[in-house]
C-alpha cells in the first residue's frame, strides 16, 4: 500500500514543480522585458527631456563636431615645437598615427568587445550585475570606451546637464542615486549616437586624445611626452601599458607619485594583453619584472624653447585670435614662427655662458656691498624698501591689512621655504619676501635678438637669463637708454643731408646753448675718458671710436628734429619732447627689438622691414587661416643705407674702433659692422652687430637703472654685451646647415655720389688747397688725416 501511495503521489509533486519553475521563468522574462521597456521609455523620456526634467543632451551639432579643448601649438621655422598655449594641455593624434601598443593595451583592458558592440556592451553589463550584485565582487563599471568618451567630451556628470527632477529631490542620498542613474542613461544614449556618427577608429582616437593622465597631461601624445619624453608612436609595450593603467585613476596610479602601485597596475594590463593574445607568455614574463623608467617633465607655459618669445608675442596673438573669433587657449590652432630652433639654442647658450661668468665678476667687484648707487657713487638709502612697494606681495598685504599696519612689515619679513634661482642651479632655502627681493636685485639681466635684415624674420629671441624666475622680457617689453648705439641715427641724418663719411671734424669741446628755463645755460658733452685729443677725425672714425664731441657737432649741424624724423622712419618712435641736443648720446629709451629693426634698414638697402615673428596660422585641421608677409616701407635711399653700412664697418676696421675686439675668426674674410653703447655709470651695456645675413642686438644691465658695475670700465658694452654676440656668431658660422655665410655686403645698384676712400679724397683736397690757399674752410673741419693709434680702445660714451 505504501508503495502504491508513493507511486500515486509522485506525479502530482512533479507537476507542481514544473508549474513553479515555469512561473519563475515567465516572471523573470516579464521582469527583464519590463526592465527593458522601462529603460526604453526612460531613455526616450531623457532624449526628449520633457521640459527640462532630465537636463537635456548635447545637440546634434555638438555631436557632429565635439569640442575637446585643444592646445594651440607654436612652431619654429624649421618645424620644431616651441611650446603651447592651453587651458587643458592636449594634442590630437589621428588613428593611423596611434601606437599599436597603446591600442592593444587599451582595448584588451578597458573594452575587449569594442569592435563588436554599438556603444553598449550587454555582456559586460551582465558580468557586472552578476559579480557586483550576486557575488558581491568588484567588477568595474561595465562602461564601454564609447560611454567613457561621452563622459569625457560632454561633462555628463556636471551641472550643465542636471535637470529639475534631480534638483527638486530633497533627500541627498536619493538625489545622488537618481542622478547617477540618469547620468548612466545619458552616457548610453550619447555612446549610441557617437557610434552612429563616427567610425570605431575615430572613436578610439577621440578617446585617447581626450582622456586625462594626470600631471596636467590630456591625451596620449602629451602623456607620452610628460612621463617618457617621447612621441606616443615610439612607446614600447611596457610604457603603453603604464599609461593605459593610469587612465581610470590618474592620481592613484601615477607612475611619478606612486611607482610601485603603477607598476602593479601596468602588470595587470600586460596580463590582459597576454590573455587576448597580444603578448606571448615569454614576453609577459620578461616585461612584468622591468621597472618603470620615467623621463618625467610636466609641461607648462614656462617650459619649452624660447619662452620669452612666446610670452612676448602672446598679447598680439590674443588680439588676433579675438578679431578672428578664435580661442587661442582651446581651438588648437598652429602658429608657425620665424624662429630658427638651432639659432635659438645657440643664442640661449651664448647668453647663459657669458652671463654666468659676468655675474661672478659683478659680484666680486662689489665684494658684498649693494650695487644700487646714485650719481655720486653712494648707496641709495631704503632702495629695497621702496622697491618692495611695487610688488604684488606688498599690494596684497596692504589690501588685507592697510598701508599703515605693522602686519605688512611683519609678513614681508617672515621667512618661509622657497626655491630661488642661482647660476649653479635652483636652490631650496628659507627667505622672507624682503630677503628674496634683495637677493634677486643683484642679478644682471640681458636681452638678445637676431633678425634676417632682408625679410625681417626674427631668428632668435632671448629676453632674459631664466624665464622660470624672471618673467620680464628685455627684447620688446623692456626699454632702456641706448647710449652710443643711437649714434648711427645722428650720423645717418648727416649722410642723408650730404655729409660724407670722410668729412673731418676736430675732437674738441662743443658747447650747446640751452633754452631759457633749463637748469644750466649751456651743455658741453664729455668724451668717455673725459679728454679731448684735438685730433681731426673723419665721421667714420668718430663713430667707430664713439667720440661724443664729434657726435655733438653733427647733431648741431643737422638738428634734433631731423634726427627724430630719421629714427622714426627706421621704426624708432621718440617723443618730440626729447628732440634735444642730448639725444645725440642716446637719452631716449628704446628696445632691442626697435634697434635691430632700425639697423636692418641699413643692410636692406634703405627699406625698413618691421621685425616679423609669424609667417602663418593654421586651424586644427591644417587649413591656413592667415599668412603674414613682411611689412616694408622705403625709409632712406639706397646710397644712404650703404654709406651707413660702411660707417658701421668702421667699428671693426678703424684703429681704436669699439668692435675691433671681435674675434679674429669673425672678421677674417668677412665684412662685419657694429656699435657699442654704454650709459651713465654703466647701468646699460649694448652691442649691435651687422653682417650681410644677420642683424643682432644685445643689451645687458641691472633690473633697475640704479644698479651699476662698480666702475665704468667693467660695465661698458664692449665687455658686457659684445661677448654674447661674438660667441653667438662664431657658433652660427660653424653650423653650415644654417646657411649663414661670411662675405661682403651687397653694393648699391648705382655708383656712389661721394668718395668713401678717405685717403684718396684727402689727397685730392690737399692738392686743391695748395693750388688755391685762399679758399674758405670750415673752422672746425680740417683735412689732415689723424695719426693712427696702435692700441685697441674699447671705450664708449657716457651721458
CA distance linking residue 481 with residue 508, whole number of Å: 25
Conformation bin of residue 142: beta by default, left when phi > 0, alpha when psi is -120 to 50: left
Range of the domain at 631: 446-771
Residue in this structure with the C-alpha cell 651695456, named with its chain if needed: 685
Backbone angles phi, psi at 189, to 5 degrees: -60, -50
Mean pLDDT, rounded, for 720-724: 97
Which cell numbers in the block locate residue 342?
A: 638651432
| Whether the Cβ atoms of residue 659 and residue 652 lie closer than 8 Å to each other | yes
Could you tell me if residue 662 is inside a domain? Answer: yes
Mean pLDDT, rounded, for 242-271: 93
CA distance linking residue 554 with residue 539, whole number of Å: 9
CATH number at residue 109: 1.10.3810.10
Could you tell me if residue 109 is inside a domain? Answer: yes
Report CA 158 to chain centroid distance, whole Å: 34
Q: Are residues 450 and 310 in the same domain?
A: no
- pLDDT tens for each residue of 732-745: 999 999 999 999 99
Which of the listed ranges 203-207, 572-576, 684-688, 748-752 does the model predict with the highest average pLDDT? 684-688
Q: Which of 18-27, 260-269, 289-298, 700-709 has the lowest average pLDDT?
A: 18-27
Residue in this structure with the C-alpha cell 548612466, named with its chain if needed: 184
Regarding predicted confidence, which is higher, 219 or 690? 690
Which cell numbers in the block locate residue 528?
A: 668717455
Mean pLDDT, rounded, for 40-56: 48
The predicted pLDDT at position 421 comes to 95
CA distance linking residue 19 with residue 15, whole number of Å: 6
Report CA 694 to chain centroid distance, whole Å: 22
Q: What is this structure's pTM?
A: 0.78
Residue 614's H or E segment, with its range, is strand 614-618
The predicted pLDDT at position 767 comes to 43
The predicted pLDDT at position 798 comes to 36
Backbone angles phi, psi at 491, to 5 degrees: -70, -35
Give the distance between the most distant pair of CA atoms in the chain. Answer: 169
Could you tell me if residue 44 is inside a domain? Answer: no
Could you tell me if residue 9 is inside a domain? Answer: no
Total domains present in the chain: 2
Mean pLDDT, rounded, for 298-312: 84
Whether the per-residue pLDDT at 545 is higher than 90: the answer is: yes
Which distant-in-sequence residues (6+ apart) come within 8 Å of 316 by Cβ? none
SS percent in the chain: helix, strand, coil, step 5: 45, 10, 40
Regarding predicted confidence, which is higher, 522 or 632? 632
CA distance linking residue 647 with residue 756, whole number of Å: 10
Whether the per-residue pLDDT at 287 is higher than 80: the answer is: yes
- pLDDT tens for each residue of 163-177: 445 555 656 676 566
Distances from the Cα of 287 to the Cαs of 238, 254, 265, in angstroms? 7, 19, 13
CA distance linking residue 573 with residue 305, whole number of Å: 30
Mean pLDDT, rounded, for 356-363: 96
Could you tell me if residue 124 is inside a domain? Answer: yes
From 315, 343, 378, the end of a domain falls on: 315
Q: Residue 785, CB half-sphere, CA atoms under 13 Å: how many?
A: 19
Could you tell me if residue 361 is inside a domain? Answer: no
CA distance linking residue 777 with residue 646, whole number of Å: 26
| Whether the Cβ atoms of residue 303 and residue 467 lie closer than 8 Å to each other | no
Residue 132 DSSP symbol: I
Report CA 149 to chain centroid distance, whole Å: 32
Could you tell me if residue 320 is inside a domain? Answer: no
CA distance linking residue 149 with residue 110, whole number of Å: 12
CA distance linking residue 687 with residue 672, whole number of Å: 13
CA distance linking residue 688 with residue 645, whole number of Å: 12
From 281, 315, 349, the end of a domain falls on: 315
Residue 561's H or E segment, with its range, is helix 560-569
| Whether the Cβ atoms of residue 574 and residue 568 lie closer than 8 Å to each other | yes
Average pLDDT of the chain, as a whole number: 84
Regarding predicted confidence, which is higher, 138 or 379? 379
The predicted pLDDT at position 728 comes to 98
- Say if residue 80 is exposed, middle or buried (CB neighbours under 10 Å; 0-12, 13-18, 19+): middle
Using the Cα atoms of residue 731, residue 734, residue 738 and residue 739 in order, give the sign of their dihedral: positive
Q: How confident is the model at residue 4 (pLDDT cuts 50, 70, 90)?
A: very low
From 315, 343, 362, the end of a domain falls on: 315
| 3-class DSSP state of 323 | helix
Could you tell me if residue 595 is inside a domain? Answer: yes
| 3-class DSSP state of 395 | helix
- pLDDT tens for each residue of 572-595: 999 988 999 999 999 999 999 999
Which cell numbers in the block locate residue 94?
A: 589621428
Regarding predicted confidence, which is higher, 768 or 410? 410
Report CA 357 to chain centroid distance, whole Å: 25
% pLDDT > 90, the chain:
63
The predicted pLDDT at position 388 comes to 95
CA distance linking residue 531 with residue 727, whole number of Å: 32
Q: Are residues 310 and 451 in the same domain?
A: no
Which cell numbers in the block locate residue 227?
A: 612621463
Which cell numbers in the block locate residue 81?
A: 615645437
CA distance linking residue 24 with residue 20, whole number of Å: 6
Count of other CB atoms within 10 angstroms of residue 373: 19
Amino acid at each position: 500500500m505504501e508503495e502504491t501511495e508513493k507511486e500515486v503521489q509522485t506525479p502530482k509533486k512533479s507537476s507542481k514543480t514544473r508549474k513553479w519553475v515555469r512561473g519563475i521563468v515567465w516572471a523573470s522574462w516579464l521582469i527583464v522585458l519590463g526592465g527593458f521597456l522601462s529603460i526604453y521609455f526612460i531613455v526616450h523620456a531623457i532624449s526628449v527631456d520633457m521640459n527640462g526634467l532630465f537636463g537635456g543632451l548635447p545637440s546634434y551639432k555638438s555631436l557632429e563636431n565635439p569640442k575637446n579643448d585643444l592646445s594651440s601649438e607654436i612652431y619654429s621655422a624649421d618645424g620644431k615645437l616651441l611650446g603651447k598655449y592651453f587651458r587643458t594641455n592636449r594634442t590630437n593624434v589621428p588613428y593611423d598615427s596611434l601606437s599599436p601598443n597603446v591600442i592593444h593595451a587599451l582595448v584588451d583592458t578597458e573594452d575587449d568587445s569594442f569592435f563588436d558592440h554599438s556603444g553598449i556592451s550587454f555582456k559586460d553589463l551582465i558580468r557586472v550585475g552578476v559579480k557586483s550584485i550576486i557575488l558581491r565582487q568588484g567588477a568595474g563599471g561595465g562602461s564601454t570606451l564609447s560611454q567613457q568618451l561621452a563622459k569625457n567630451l560632454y561633462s555628463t556628470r556636471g551641472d550643465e546637464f542636471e535637470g529639475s527632477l534631480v534638483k527638486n529631490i530633497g533627500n541627498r542620498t536619493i538625489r545622488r542615486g537618481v542622478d547617477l542613474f540618469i547620468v548612466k542613461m545619458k552616457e548610453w544614449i550619447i555612446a549610441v549616437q557617437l557610434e552612429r556618427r563616427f567610425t570605431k577608429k575615430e572613436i578610439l582616437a577621440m578617446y585617447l586624445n581626450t582622456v586625462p593622465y594626470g600631471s596636467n597631461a590630456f591625451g596620449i601624445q602629451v602623456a607620452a611626452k610628460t612621463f617618457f619624453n617621447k612621441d606616443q608612436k615610439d612607446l614600447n609595450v611596457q610604457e603603453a601599458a603604464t599609461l593605459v593603467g593610469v587612465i581610470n585613476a590618474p592620481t592613484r596610479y601615477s607612475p611619478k607619485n606612486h611607482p610601485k602601485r603603477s607598476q602593479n597596475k601596468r602588470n595587470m594590463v600586460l596580463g590582459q594583453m597576454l590573455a587576448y593574445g597580444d603578448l606571448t607568455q615569454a614576453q609577459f614574463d620578461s616585461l612584468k619584472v622591468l621597472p618603470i623608467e620615467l623621463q618625467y617633465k610636466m609641461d607648462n607655459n614656462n617650459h619649452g624653447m624660447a619662452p620669452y618669445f612666446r610670452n612676448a608675442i602672446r598679447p598680439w596673438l590674443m588680439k588676433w585670435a579675438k578679431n578672428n573669433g578664435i580661442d587661442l587657449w582651446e581651438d588648437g590652432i598652429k602658429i608657425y614662427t620665424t624662429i630658427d630652433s638651432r639659432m635659438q639654442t645657440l643664442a640661449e647658450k651664448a647668453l647663459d655662458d657669458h652671463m654666468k661668468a659676468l655675474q661672478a665678476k659683478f659680484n666680486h667687484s662689489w665684494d658684498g656691498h649693494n650695487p644700487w648707487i646714485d650719481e655720486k657713487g653712494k648707496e641709495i638709502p631704503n632702495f629695497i624698501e621702496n622697491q618692495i612697494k611695487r610688488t604684488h606681495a606688498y599690494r596684497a598685504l596692504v589690501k588685507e591689512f592697510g598701508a599703515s599696519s605693522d602686519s605688512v612689515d611683519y609678513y614681508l619679513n617672515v621667512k618661509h621655504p622657497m626655491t630661488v634661482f642661482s647660476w649653479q642651479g635652483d636652490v631650496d632655502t628659507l627667505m622672507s619676501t624682503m630677503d628674496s627681493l634683495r637677493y634677486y636685485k643683484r642679478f644682471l639681466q640681458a636681452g638678445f635678438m637676431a633678425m634676417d635684415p632682408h625679410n625681417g624674420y626674427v631668428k632668435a629671441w632671448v629676453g632674459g637669463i631664466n624665464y622660470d624666475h624672471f618673467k620680464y622680457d628685455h627684447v620688446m617689453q623692456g626699454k632702456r637708454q641706448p647710449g652710443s648705439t643711437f649714434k648711427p641715427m645722428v650720423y645717418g641724418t648727416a649722410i642723408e643731408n650730404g655729409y660724407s663719411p670722410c668729412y673731418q671734424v676736430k675732437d674738441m669741446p662743443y658747447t650747446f646753448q640751452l633754452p631759457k628755463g633749463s637748469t644750466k645755460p649751456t651743455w658741453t658733452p664729455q668724451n668717455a675718458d673725459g679728454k679731448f685729443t684735438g685730433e681731426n677725425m673723419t665721421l667714420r672714425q668718430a663713430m667707430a671710436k664713439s667720440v661724443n664731441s664729434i657726435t655733438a657737432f653733427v647733431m648741431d649741424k643737422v638738428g634734433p628734429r631731423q634726427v627724430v624724423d630719421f629714427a622714426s622712419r627706421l621704426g624708432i618712435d621718440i617723443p618730440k619732447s626729447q628732440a634735444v641736443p642730448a639725444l645725440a648720446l642716446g637719452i631716449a629709451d628704446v628696445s632691442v627689438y626697435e634697434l635691430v629693426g632700425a639697423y636692418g634698414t641699413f643692410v636692406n638697402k634703405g627699406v625698413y622691414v618691421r621685425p616679423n615673428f609669424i609667417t602663418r596660422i593654421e586651424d586644427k585641421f591644417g587649413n591656413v587661416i592667415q599668412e603674414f608677409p613682411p611689412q616694408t616701407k622705403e625709409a632712406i635711399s639706397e646710397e644712404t643705407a650703404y654709406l651707413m653700412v660702411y660707417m658701421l664697418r668702421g667699428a671693426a676696421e678703424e684703429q681704436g674702433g669699439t668692435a675691433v675686439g671681435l674675434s679674429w675668426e669673425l672678421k677674417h674674410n668677412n665684412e662685419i659692422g657694429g656699435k657699442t653703447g654704454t650709459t651713465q655709470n654703466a647701468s646699460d651695456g649694448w652691442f649691435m652687430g651687422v653682417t650681410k645675413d644677420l642683424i643682432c642686438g644685445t643689451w645687458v644691465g641691472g633690473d633697475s637703472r640704479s644698479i651699476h658695475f662698480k666702475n665704468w670700465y667693467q660695465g661698458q658694452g664692449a665687455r658686457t654685451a659684445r661677448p654674447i654676440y661674438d660667441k653667438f656668431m662664431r657658433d652660427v658660422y660653424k653650423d653650415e646647415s644654417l646657411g649663414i655665410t661670411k662675405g661682403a655686403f651687397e653694393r648699391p645698384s648705382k655708383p656712389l655720389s661721394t668718395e668713401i676712400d678717405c685717403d684718396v679724397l684727402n689727397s685730392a683736397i690737399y692738392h686743391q688747397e695748395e693750388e688755391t690757399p685762399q679758399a674758405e674752410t670750415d673752422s672746425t673741419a680740417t683735412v689732415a688725416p689723424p695719426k693712427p693709434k696702435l692700441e685697441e680702445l674699447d671705450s664708449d660714451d657716457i651721458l
